Amino acid sequence: MTSLLRKLQDLELSLKSQHGQVGYGRALREAIISSDIFTEVEVLKGLGDLHLQKGKLSKDTAEFDKAAGLYAASLLLCTDPDMGQTLKHRIGYMEKLSKQLLQGYNPRYQSPDYRGTADSYVLRVAKICDKSDKRVGKPWHSVEEIYTESLVHAIGNSDVLLELEVLKSLGDLYLEKGKKTSDVSQFSKAAAMYNKALTRCGDPETKLTLEHRIKYVDKIREVAKKAKTITK
């Protein structure tokens, strides 16, 4: 219990020192890297709360839809019964509030194409690639931030196809950095992103690709470790 409270306190302090969604995005990325499901659930819930508050103030349907997607993602990961109950209550409250504030509003998560259509998927990925290309020559962390922002956007829209692509792209980014710098920690980050992508993947071919990539990362990480030991 003490360690959980400490995690919550650390997360709260981290978010207070950063700007809103940017801080949550970074916290989410770090939770995935460290395979910290507890923090991941808390961050997704926090992001849901953030968009719910925005929806209450702006009466913008998109904000309520994002809140719903983030609460649903948090609930999917949650293994704690109390937290699960809290999230269910939050979703119920959000549905009630959105109908009160927005006459005739139909939640987007009830529509058939809510999880993203394959037709528009290419366009969504292309937009992210375009953003990344414009960052060429700029600090490496700028691209990392673009992917993190895109990850939060994908989860908020329950766009599993885009979420999967962004996780793979983050894995590729860390893998390339590890190869260039021989920094073993970057390979661990890459493996974490590929493993997370694997949990969201339903396509057999993509799963196979991810599994091969994870094996490759493990192999190259061991080589980097041995090389580091020899040079000491």
- pLDDT score recorded for residue 15: 56
| Residue 122 sits in the same domain as residue 227 | yes
Same domain, 145 and 172: yes
Say if residue 126 is in the same domain as residue 78. no
Count how many domains the chain has.
2
The pLDDT value recorded for residue 48 is 93
Instruction: Name which of 15, 17, 19 is nearest 27 in CA terms.
Output: 15
Q: Are residues 160 and 227 in the same domain?
A: yes
- Predicted pLDDT of residue 29: 96
Percent of the chain with pLDDT over 90: 51
Whether 39 and 91 map to the same domain: the answer is yes
Asked if residues 124 and 159 have their Cβ atoms less than 8 Å apart, the reply is yes
31 and 92 inside one domain: yes
Least Cα distance to 83 among 37, 115, 52 occurs for 37
> Among residues 84, 110, 136, which one ends one of the domains?
110
Average pLDDT for the chain: 83
| pLDDT < 70 regions, the chain | 1-20, 104-141, 231-232
> What burial letters (b/e) apply to 25-56, b meaning 16+ CB within 10 Å?
bbbbbbbbbeebebbbbbbbbbbbbbbbebbb
CB-neighbour burial class of residue 19 (10 A; exposed 0-12, middle 13-18, buried 19+): exposed
| DSSP labels, the chain | -HHHHHHHHHHHHHHHTS-HHHHHHHHHHHHHHTT-HHHHHHHHHHHHHHHHHHHHHH--HHHHHHHHHHHHHHHHH---HHHHHHHHHHHHHHHHHHHHHSTT---GGGSTTTT--HHHHHHHHHHHHHHHHTTTTS-HHHHHHHHHHHHHHHHHTT-HHHHHHHHHHHHHHHHHHHHHH--HHHHHHHHHHHHHHHHH---HHHHHHHHHHHHHHHHHHHHHHHHHHHH-
Question: Of 110, 134, 169, which marks where a domain is finished?
Answer: 110
Torsion from C-alpha of 196, 198, 203, 206, nearest 10 degrees: 100
- Write down the pTM of the prediction: 0.83
On whether both 88 and 164 belong to a single domain, the answer is no
- Cα–Cα distance for residue pair 107/125, rounded to 1 Å: 24
Q: Say how many C-beta atoms besides its own lie within 10 A of residue 165's C-beta.
A: 22
Of 110, 137, 166, the last residue of a domain is 110
The encoded tokens of residue 229 equal 């030991």
> Closest by alpha carbon to 70, among 32, 25, 18?
25
pLDDT at 3: 60
What integer pLDDT is reported at residue 122 of this predicted model? 55
Assess whether 97 and 143 both reside in one domain.
no
